[in-house]
Amino acid sequence: MKVHWIPGASLGIAALYLGVLGIGFSHPNLRTYAPPTAPPNTLGWKAPSSEDIPAGAPGELIRSGRRIFRATPWFASDHAGNKLSCGDCHLAGGIAPYSSPLVGVPELFPMYNSRAGHVISLEDRIQECFTRSENGTPIDYNGPEMRALVAYIEWLSKPEPGRKKFAGRGLVKLPGLTPDPRRGALIYGEQCAGCHGTNGAGLVPQFPPLWGPDSFNDGAGTNQIPKMAAFIEHNMPQNRTGTLTAQQAYDVAGYIHQQPRPAFNPAYENY
């Protein structure tokens, strides 16, 4: 069999070879070659991981705050008055969008709080959670629980150079609707009772109680129908999120609002 020489082929091969050599000259160790980085502020927000927790005392404080956040009745038992944890309202450890996430919250304080009627700090806001959502008592401003929770929230909110800011703060915006508690009872029975129980007691720690002695008191923000509806519409049911309409969420919130729960202690009105 004859081999036919194609004019210009050797030139092409030579050019390709030289091109490879050129890469080699530009990057002496090809194993360390990396593509150019993405332009600033084009990468999505990245949640911090356990590997990012610093060593030593600062890291242990963050871990302690995470434990309190995830299992408040167990790790802040002297101050928690029910079976709710911080993470029951601030989902996924405080980073789930539109579930009142805590990412970026420290930079918002100090702020004026209309409910308290004065300017509050981040620590004051944590006290609100303990006296209202936790139906408990205030923690020491300089105590280990407060320092740990603040450290954890600040760690969640650490700057991410070159990345987009966290999106999804607060709750989703829903139109003002009129709830129908009767219809809400039916929806609750079909969509919610499987996890939270027909009596609203939940199954702690997997599913939090929604009413009764172990739930939030009537001074909590979650006891406000619009806030509860916004939380439900975006986040519930957890295995079928996005299946409830705004009206259905309002109906369920109206039904939950009618159920018995502890009364807020007026001694803590400053929070």
Q: d(Cα 148, Cα 32) in Å, to the nearest integer?
A: 40
Count of structural domains within the chain: 2
- Looking at the DSSP bridge assignments, the partners of residue 203 are 207
What is the value of pTM for the model shown?
A: 0.83
Q: What CATH number is associated with residue 261?
A: 1.10.760.10
The three-class DSSP label of residue 107 is helix
Could you tell me the CA-to-CA distances from 82 to 7, 144, 184 in Å, in that order? 86, 20, 25
Tokens at residue 193, please?
């009772």
- Tell me the pLDDT of the chain (271 aa) as tens digits: 444 444 444 444 444 444 433 433 334 443 444 445 556 666 889 999 999 999 999 999 999 999 999 999 999 999 999 999 999 999 999 999 999 999 999 999 999 999 889 999 999 999 999 999 999 999 999 999 999 999 999 999 998 888 899 999 999 999 999 999 999 999 999 999 999 999 999 999 999 999 999 999 999 999 999 999 999 999 999 999 999 999 999 999 999 999 999 999 999 999 9
Residues 58 and 136 in one domain: yes
Residues 188 and 144 in one domain: no
Task: Identify the domain containing residue 108 by its residue range.
Answer: 50-156
The three-class DSSP label of residue 85 is coil
* Residue 102 near residue 153, CB atoms below 8 Å: yes
